Amino acid sequence: MYTVLHMTEAQSDLAHRALATLKIDAVQPIAPAVVRAFLRHDDNVLAVAFSDEQPIGYAVAYDLPRVDGEHPMLLLYEVSVASAWRRRGVGSALVERVLAVARSRNAVKTWVLTDPTNAPARALYASCRADDRGPNQLYVWNQCKTPAGSEGSAR
């Protein structure tokens, strides 16, 4: 049995403990102040699944305001479930919690990108009734590194 909570700033210590336990691929240790700051912004969404007070999964999403309409979109950025809890409905419950947040915010849509070869993620999103829009290409700008000879900003 497990429960899924939409974390708030008041729960930042609990959220930090969950992320520190589950986010094993973090580039650097997760700082409590960073989690608190993340949760302070209503545009950010963190859902965490717990079983017997132990974190077993999480989902991160971002509310994206639009210039062409008054209702936002939600970007489902990350879903992660502890290996012992995979294929037991936890991922679906996390996605459903994010979708409930999107509905409460009158979001026009929720979207996610994944690699076409990531079969578990694609199966999860299909099981949650997402429309498969086909292969997409993702382009990334790493703002932490400035190319040699560049000023680092465009004007």
**What are the distances in angstroms from CA 37 to CA 9, 13, 84?**
8, 12, 30
pLDDT of residue 155: 41
pLDDT of residue 26: 78
Q: Divide the 155 residues of the chain into consecutive groups of 10 and give the mean pLDDT of each group.
A: 97 97 87 97 97 97 93 95 96 97 95 90 94 79 60 46
pLDDT of residue 129: 93
pLDDT of residue 148: 56
CA distance 138 to 123: 20
Helix 12-22 with 32-40: angle, nearest 10 deg: 120
**Can you give the pTM of this predicted structure?**
0.87
What CATH code is assigned to 3-127?
3.40.630.30
8 A C-beta contact, residue 81 and residue 90: yes
Helix (H, G, I), strand (E, B) or coil at 78: strand
